[in-house]
Every structure is written in C-alpha cells, then in structure tokens.
Amino acid sequence: MKGPRLIRLPRLKIPVCAPKLGAREIRYVTECIKSSWVSGTSPYVSDFEMKFAKYCRAKFGIATNSGTTALHLALAALGIGKGDEVIMPTFTMIATANATTYTGARCKLVDSELDTWNLDVSKVEPLISKKTKAIMAVHTYGHPVDMGPLLDIARQNDLYVVEDAAEAHGAEYKGHRVGCLGDIGCFSFYSNKIITTGEGGMIVTNDEETAERCRWLRAHAFGKKGKHFWHERIGFGYRMSGLQAALGLAQLERIDRFVKARRSRAELYAELLRNMRGLALAPEAPWAKSVFWMYSVLVQKNFGMSREALMRHLARKGIETRTFFYPIHRQPAYRHICRTKSYPRADYLSAVGVNLPSGNNLTEDEIRYICRAISAATA
C-alpha cells in the first residue's frame, strides 16, 4: 500500500526564518520513538525542562505545547483572573493579549519607545489601578526590556512581572539572562524561534510554589490526594510531548552557537546597511545583549520607496520578508478596549518596519545578496 503523496510547496530562495535541523535532531527523536516515551510524561520532557531552566539560570522549568499556552498557564498559576488587569505593550504579537484574555483579565496597553521598540517604561505607572495585578514585559524581536526601572515599579506597587521572552532565548539584561528577571518567564519554541520543538513553549521561574502550580494546572489539575481522576480546579491540557522535547534537547545543545550566529549576522547586516539613506537599523542598547531573533529595519520616508514596495522588490529577487506586528489596539478583536487612546510610536513601528531573513541557516553570502538587493531597490 502506497503512503500519502508528498505535496511540494513552492519556496522562496531565502526564507525569512527557517529552523536548522540535522542528524542530531533525527537521532534524538528516533531514540524517543524507540523508547516508547512519547507522551508528556516522558523523561525527555523533564530532562529538557531541567536543562533549559539551567540555561536560563533559573531553578525550575515547565514545558508546554506552545508559547501561548505558557503565557496563559503562567498567568493562571499567579492567580490572575476575571476583574484583574495586566499592563503590556500594544506593539506585540497577539498571543500576549490573548493569553491575558483567556484568564478573564483585561489588557491595559502601553505605547512603545523608539530606542529599543519595547514598551515605554515611563508610561507604565500612570496606568496602574487597584485592579492591576501584573506587568507583561515583552522582549521584542530578541531585545530585552529595560527591566531595572520596570521591576522597581512592580515592587513599589506589589505587582507580578511576567516576561514574554518568546523571541529572546539567550538575550541578556546587564549580564542577566531574560526569563527569570521577573516572577516568571515564558518562551516559545515555534519553528522560527532561536531553538525549536516545532510547536512548544517553556515557563521558567525561581519560585518553587509557582512552578508546582504550573505543573498541576498544566495537566488538568489532577487530584493531589491520591485520587487520579479527581479535579479540584479547572486545569488545562498544555503538556509538551516527548517527541517535541527530544527535538528541543538536540537544539538546546547548539543554542550558544545559534545565538552567536544571530549576533554575527546582525553585525554584518549593520555593516552593509549602515550608510543607506532612509533605513533605521535594528537597535541594541548599551546595557543589552540582543539575540536579534529577527533582523529588522524601519523604512523611513526618505528611503525612496515605501516598505511595501521594498518588500515586493525583494520578493522578486527570491527574498522573503515580513511586516512588523499590527499593534493590539489595531486588532479587530481588541479595538473595544482602547477606542479613545492613541499609541503613535507603536503605529509608526508597525507601519514602516520590515523583518529581513534571519534564520539559523542564513549564510554570509545570502546576507550580502539581500543587502545588494536593498541597495539596488531605489537605484
């Protein structure tokens, strides 16, 4: 009997962000299959949790089946729910807002600052009310938030700090890895991230009680008193499979190499594009170590063509690109929460930003080709 016919999908010459997979990933996943430990109770999962937490310099790791479920589980474990408020940037991927909405809490949005494209910390404190329970710090495109003053605000107002580090594996703030700077941190292992499990996520924390609540709620809150099918709370089906964890373990062994390569590619992009009129390059603050999950530029008015025209030009050259996120306040599902407010910097970033190819397979020759294509766009 013949197997299913493989459908060959068209591919651009240079994809925007593809994973780097090889013999090690095949070996680990094959070993997992042969062991029969393929479910969420697999020792591959606990091994991945321990090793990823150690990489982040955190005490505990809790693996999940996506970055979004990691965020939702983290908020639920902190007790955030109906009637509460969570402050977050409007310039972020919609999962940040959705995870908050799943708990019944309300999103309170903050505009961006242009130095790092992250939330403007100076605008956070005026938004705090009696209903505010947490601040969500999103490390946008791999660049850390200015966490020092944000943590000060949180401490002064008795608020949790949740780090959305979905795009920032290995990024550092003043020498400290992101993810465990606040109370709890969440990562994504989607296929385009620094390391991947295909789909998947991870929570890291230094608080043992929070870690235990996460594990309990992650698997339907099974009874704690020896009753296996006894459920004291509404839990979730958010476990990572053994197969995903096996893939993650193989990727984790190369994470330092991947981060180093991303930073090296960013340096080359900056060198080749630095003198190009009308392009603002990806930022890196003096106190930050960005991992440049995406190497991104802002196409300004004096570039000579619009962002969309540049993207079409690059597509004709076989180069895939992506626009920046649409801010939460522009999303149809969330317009009702901010009809009377404006977020001009987030709107600006969204309107002119473009993500260039940034994957782990990207070569130096490809970067030079991309930059020549950008240079030729307005010639």
Mean of the per-residue pLDDT values of the chain = 95
> How far, in Å, CA of 72 to CA of 77, rounded?
9
Mean pLDDT in residue range 209-231: 87
- pLDDT digit string (tens) for 51-101? 999 999 999 999 999 999 999 999 999 999 999 999 999 999 999 999 999
- pLDDT digit string (tens) for 60-72? 999 999 999 999 9
Nearest to 214 by CA among 359, 78, 346, 375: 78
Predicted confidence at residue 9, as pLDDT, reads 46
pTM beyond 0.85: yes
Residue with tokens 């106190």: 287
> How far, in Å, CA of 133 to CA of 87, rounded?
8
Predicted confidence at residue 335, as pLDDT, reads 87
Mean pLDDT in residue range 236-257: 98
- pLDDT digit string (tens) for 264-284? 999 999 999 999 999 999 999
Please give the domain boundaries of the chain with CATH numbers for all domains.
23-252 (3.40.640.10), 255-377 (3.90.1150.10)
pLDDT at 138 over 50: yes
Contacts of 113 (CB under 8 A, 6+ apart): 119, 120, 121, 122, 345
Instruction: pLDDT band for 378, please (50, 70, 90 cuts).
Output: confident
Mean pLDDT in residue range 236-242: 97
Please give the angle made by the CA atoms of 190, 364 and 278, to the nearest 5 degrees.
Answer: 85
pLDDT at 11 over 70: no
pLDDT at 222 over 90: no
pLDDT at 5 over 80: no
- pLDDT digit string (tens) for 282-291? 999 999 999 9
In the sheet where 295-299 sits, what is the strand order? 279-280, 295-299, 353-356, 322-323
Predicted confidence at residue 8, as pLDDT, reads 54
Predicted confidence at residue 337, as pLDDT, reads 83
> How far, in Å, CA of 20 to CA of 4, rounded?
25
Instruction: pLDDT band for 379, please (50, 70, 90 cuts).
Output: confident
Is 240 within 8 Å of 197 (Cβ atoms)?
Answer: yes
- pLDDT digit string (tens) for 225-238? 667 788 888 999 99
Nearest to 67 by CA among 154, 153, 189: 189
Is 357 within 8 Å of 320 (Cβ atoms)?
Answer: yes
279: tokens are 């392009």
